[in-house]
């Protein structure tokens, strides 16, 4: 079946440091890929997505590129802020560009803490 593997956390960085959170996946079809973020005390929010190979999703300074050859979708940000402290989830949906993004397969989540 489908699966998503994220780098284990927690990740602790100083403000303005470079962030990478690795994510790889296995899927039987051609999935859409997502990063969700969960701030303390809140629900998950969609951060960015990509629906086909070589697509780059970006939002709030975060980026991730859909790499089909390496089955990866690593999250990066050039300069993190304290306000980026949250839990980040990589996820995939098998129905690429398709009928529904509701059936998501999630990675285990990576806790990011950014210190001033």
Partner 1 sequence: GAVVSQHPSRVICKSGTSVKIECRSLDFQATTMFWYRQFPKQSLMLMATSNEGSKATYEQGVEKDKFLINHASLTLSTLTVTSAHPEDSSFYICSAHEREHSPLHFGNGTRLTVT
**What proportions of the chain, in percent to the nearest 5, are helix, strand and coil?**
5, 50, 45
Strand partners, 76: 20, 63
**φ, ψ for residue 83 (rounded to 5)?**
-70, -10
29 class by beta-carbon count within 10 Å (0-12 exposed, 13-18 middle, 19+ buried): exposed
For partner 1, which residue of 22, 55, 67, 106 counts as binding (CB under 8 A)? 106
Lay out the site mask for partner 1 across 56-85 (x = CB under 8 A, - = otherwise): ------------------------------
- Using DSSP bridges, classify how beta strands 3-6 and 56-59 pair: parallel, antiparallel or unpaired: unpaired
Lay out the site mask for partner 1 across 15-54 (x = CB under 8 A, - = otherwise): ---------------------x----xxxxxx--------
Q: CB of 95: closest distance to partner 1 in angstroms?
A: 9
For partner 1, which residue of 65, 85, 105, 113 counts as binding (CB under 8 A)? 105
Q: Enumerate binding residues for partner 1 (CB under 8 A).
A: 4, 36, 41-46, 89, 99-109
């Amino acid at each position: 079946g489908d699966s998503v593997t994220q780098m284990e956390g927690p990740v602790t960085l100083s403000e303005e440091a470079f962030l990478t959170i690795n994510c790889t996946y296995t899927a039987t079809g051609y999935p859409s890929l997502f990063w969700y973020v969960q701030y303390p005390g809140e629900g998950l929010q969609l951060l960015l997505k990509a629906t086909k190979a070589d697509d780059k999703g970006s939002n709030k300074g975060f980026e991730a590129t859909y790499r089909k050859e390496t089955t990866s979708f690593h999250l990066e940000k050039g300069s993190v802020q304290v306000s980026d402290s949250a839990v980040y989830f990589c996820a995939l949906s098998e129905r690429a560009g398709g009928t529904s993004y509701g059936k998501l397969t999630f990675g285990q989540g990576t806790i990011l803490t950014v210190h001033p």
